Amino acid sequence: MLVLAGLALAAIAPADDLQGKLDKKQDELGKAKDKKVLLTTEVSRYNDQIEQLTGEVAALRNREAAVQADLDSAQDQLDSAQHDLKVLRERLRRSIDALEERLVDIYKEDEPDTLTAILESDGYDDALSRYEYLQTLQSQNSDLVGRVRDLRDDTAATVEKVRTTRDSIRSRREELRATRASLEQREAELDAARARSKKALSRVGSHVEDLHDDVSDIEDKIQKQLAAAALADSGVAALPAGAIQDAGGGFIWPVNGPIVSPFGMRWGRLHAGVDIAVPAGTPIRAAKDGTIVLNQTEAESGGYGNYTCIDHGGGVSTCYAHQSSFAITSGPVKQGEIIGYVGCTGHCFGDHLHFEVRINGVPTDPMAYL
């Protein structure tokens, strides 16, 4: 007993040391979480900036599209006006040539005026014919001059339209260039804000995760040392865990030993699991990944003694009875992780593990899983 008491004291001393480390890590974790809150606020400001910049980028892109559309329309107008100008200039050239030829003809022929033509006529009919001819000739001359004048005016107006359109295109191109420069600047600012936000959150998030892992590791060590102390207090010496025995179907054997009592009716009542005979102190492994959902002491469970149930999801759970002590009492567990030690607490007639498999809470034969 003195040896067991010494083992208990030796287990408690490191546990106290680990508790100090745990307190320190939890203090660091608290500070890291406070920093994370501050950085989260900073990230929130970044996100507000990102939202604003995103809106500005969208507006600039819409402006860019509108200016580009105006530029395309102005270019189309310029192309049309330049074509019209080319046609008008050709028509004006031909009309001026015709007018010049007509003026040369008038100069060479020395055409008479209306009074002379009438005085030299042979009678009324001849005078009338000569008058009508001169009127037609004058009308044609007037039409030719008018056509030249109109073509000249149209050409001048088209030249002005071309000039105005070119000025508009130049202005639109400058506006488009400025818009694209602003767009590139805003997009660069947006990328930088996103990078700062991601870096800030990642930095503190990683630190908090590391501290969580450290705290979890220390808590596991404390729990295992306290379990060893509890095992020593029970008067049972811990034994080697032994090799893991695969049961197939995703399960492993919780302990390695023979079945001494199967699942089924016994003494007029259901024996809800199987009894696996192994010495006291044999480590009990979780048969599958899961979460401890029930942990009862001998005083709480009655006949089951120290009792643990693990939920594996999908309605499947496993339970472990008559433990001499617990190694883990709550939280998630990995397959093969030691949850307790074999004993004979509760109603039993020798050291063994009573192992159950329950489907939606209903006991079923564990041999279908082992």
Tell me the CATH number at 130.
1.10.287.2610
Q: Are residues 336 and 195 in the same domain?
A: no
Q: Are residues 44 and 147 in the same domain?
A: yes
Q: Are residues 183 and 321 in the same domain?
A: no
For residue 3, tell me if it sits in a domain.
no
Whether the pLDDT of residue 107 is over 60: the answer is no
pLDDT tens, 153-197? 777 777 787 788 778 778 877 877 887 787 788 778 778 877 877
Query: Which of 161, 196, 214 is the C-terminal boundary of a domain?
Result: 214
Q: Which domain holds residue 31?
A: 11-214
Q: Are residues 288 and 193 in the same domain?
A: no
pTM exceeds 0.75, yes or no: no
For residue 16, tell me if it sits in a domain.
yes
Region 4-10: what's the mean pLDDT?
A: 43
Whether the pLDDT of residue 56 is over 70: the answer is yes
Q: How many CB atoms lie within 10 A of CB 290?
A: 20
Q: Are residues 189 and 325 in the same domain?
A: no
What pLDDT was estimated at residue 79? Answer: 81
Angle at which helices 124-233 and 2-109 cross, to 10°: 170
Q: Are residues 206 and 250 in the same domain?
A: no
For residue 234, tell me if it sits in a domain.
no
Q: Are residues 135 and 60 in the same domain?
A: yes
For residue 266, tell me if it sits in a domain.
yes
Which tokens in the block code for residue 102? 């007509």
What pLDDT was estimated at residue 61? Answer: 77
Say which CATH number the domain at 318 has.
2.70.70.10
Q: Are residues 276 and 171 in the same domain?
A: no
Q: Are residues 264 and 360 in the same domain?
A: yes
Whether the pLDDT of residue 118 is over 60: the answer is no
- What percent of the chain lies above the pLDDT cut of 90? 28
Q: Are residues 185 and 303 in the same domain?
A: no
For residue 224, tell me if it sits in a domain.
no
Angstrom CA distances, 309 to 58, 90, 119, 286, 287, stand at 57, 102, 140, 10, 11
Q: How confident is the model at residue 362 (pLDDT cuts 50, 70, 90)?
A: very high
Q: Are residues 210 and 116 in the same domain?
A: yes
For residue 296, tell me if it sits in a domain.
yes
Instruction: With beta carbons less than 8 A apart as the criterion, state whether 338 and 241 touch.
Output: yes
What pLDDT was estimated at residue 349? Answer: 86
Instruction: With beta carbons less than 8 A apart as the criterion, state whether 333 and 290 touch.
Output: yes
Q: Are residues 188 and 320 in the same domain?
A: no
Whether the pLDDT of residue 268 is over 70: the answer is yes
Residue 161 neighbours by CB under 8 Å, 6+ apart: 77, 81
pLDDT tens, 218-235? 666 666 665 555 555 555
How many domains is the chain partitioned into structurally? 2
Whether the pLDDT of residue 103 is over 60: the answer is no
